[in-house]
A = this chain, B = another copy of it.
């Protein structure tokens, strides 16, 4: 195929991204969304949901490592982990690297995302066969309302906050997560770009601050998510999170102790963000 391109339709981005495409591996539609898998000469295989790039083989590790390892190294002994979303398996793969982890509950609304990843993304989906993993295909907001827990760590690996995704950013959902964390529990959620979605980031930080003792914000630069200055909101009921609270034993491509520390948004900038006092 020549001259074939994919024009992303990110509903949140003022810049539209175009990728070269060398093959169309899958186009389908689940009950919840369009699912596409493209082959890119630049990024390897790409998973696209509702027209938005969710991951590329080449750079997915930045996102998945930063989502999983910051919280799992901030927590002194994570044994039980709940992942909401993350049906591609990338976050699960990183979580399972931790020997302390005894049980992972993954709750993905769309079974077809998991099936698509198992079929096309073997580097990501290997964790689904790990005996520590339990998968439930249901609405994550309903799950946390009814789950007994408690969990040491909850990770929300969601799509953008549009359509169904919106429900994973409301107060009730955050309160339900707090209620299923144990007394040293921690929670992390991806919260979009500091370039393009600053008010959204500030809003989530403020609302989490009403529930949790400790709330922080950290970032990684992602080439394939428009806005790219990607944020993660992390909340803790007891221990601080901005540095490792235990020694790193897992092997990573990007994440390490120094990156953990440097990823946290400087306190001056975070203060200005929360005060809506950024002069941009």
Contact = CB atoms under 8 A, between A and B. Distances in A.
Contact of A195 (B19, B221, B226, B259): B221
Interface residues of A, number: 42
Interface string A206-242: 0000000000000101011011110000000000000
A15 interface: yes
A172 to B, nearest CB: 32
A17 to B, nearest CB: 5
Given A195-B59, A279-B253, A15 B223 contact: yes
Contact of A221 (B42, B221, B224): B221
A170 interface: no
A275 interface: no
B15 A17 contact: yes
Contacts of A61: 280
A25 interface: no
Nearest to A263: B262
A228 B219 contact: no
Interface string A84-101: 000000000000000000
Given A228-B229, A257-B268, A258-B266, 9 more contacts: A15-B19, A16-B18, A18-B18, A193-B223, A219-B221, A223-B226, A223-B229, A259-B266, A262-B262
7 contacts: A18-B18, A196-B223, A219-B221, A221-B229, A223-B227, A257-B268, A258-B268
